[in-house]
């Protein structure tokens, strides 16, 4: 056992990568607007370290607008094959231009073109409109680099709480909670299932 929730998360994620059939980095991202109305969607974890958990998106999307109005979020990883889940809650910050550029450069060309062509979360009259915009972007950047839109980049959830949940028989689950301590470090405890 470790008293470092980030090390424990890394170990659990490694287990998930070895056993989950699809997208072990898939995570539910919950946000709320300024009035507190919640919204949740699946995204992919693209980075994790002691500073937090990083996902990427369009700042003008619904999640981006909600995070601008209320920069707090919750994440939920659910690894069914392992009968485990991890919950993370915390403040959200923009990762910055350099980190966003570095991740953008790792994305496939078609993914970059799609992100550039999409008005994510906005109403779309028909699928062909989006496909035409992708093709127009493909033609515009033929033979060249696809630039990262200024409104696209990463968000980091800086954890204040991390809960590790392990399924046990008869619903006698194990719940281990880490809470960020003032001045650094973590306090740890167990929760009733």
Spatial contact of 74 and 85, defined as CB atoms under 8 Å apart: no
Q: How far is CA 116 from CA 126, 129, 136, in A?
A: 18, 14, 10
User: Catalytic positions, please?
Assistant: 171
**Which tokens in the block code for residue 112?**
């970059």
DSSP assignment string, 65-122:
HHHHHS-EEEEEEEEGGGTEEEEEEEEEEE--HHHHHHHHHHS-HHHHHHHHH--TTS
Helices 109-117 and 127-140, axial angle in degrees (round to 10): 120
Q: What's 181's DSSP letter?
A: P
Q: Are 25 and 10 in contact (CB under 8 A)?
A: no
């Amino acid at each position: 056992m470790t008293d470092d929730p980030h090390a424990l998360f890394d170990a659990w994620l490694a287990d998930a990568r070895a056993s989950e059939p699809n997208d072990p980095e898939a995570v539910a991202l919950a946000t709320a607007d300024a009035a507190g109305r919640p919204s949740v969607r699946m995204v992919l974890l693209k980075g994790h370290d002691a500073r937090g958990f990083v996902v990427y998106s369009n700042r003008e999307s619904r999640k981006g607008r909600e995070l601008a109005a209320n920069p707090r979020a919750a994440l939920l990883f659910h690894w069914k094959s392992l009968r485990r889940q991890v919950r993370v809650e915390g403040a959200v910050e923009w990762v910055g231009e350099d980190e966003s550029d570095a991740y953008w450069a790792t994305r496939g060309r078609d993914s970059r073109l799609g992100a550039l062509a999409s008005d994510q979360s906005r109403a779309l009259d028909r699928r062909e409109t989006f496909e035409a915009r992708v093709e127009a972007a493909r033609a515009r950047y033929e033979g060249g680099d696809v630039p990262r839109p200024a409104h696209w980049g990463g968000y980091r959830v800086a954890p204040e709480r991390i809960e590790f949940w392990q399924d046990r028989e008869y619903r006698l689950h194990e719940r281990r909670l880490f809470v960020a301590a003032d001045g650094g470090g973590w306090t740890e405890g167990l929760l009733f299932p």
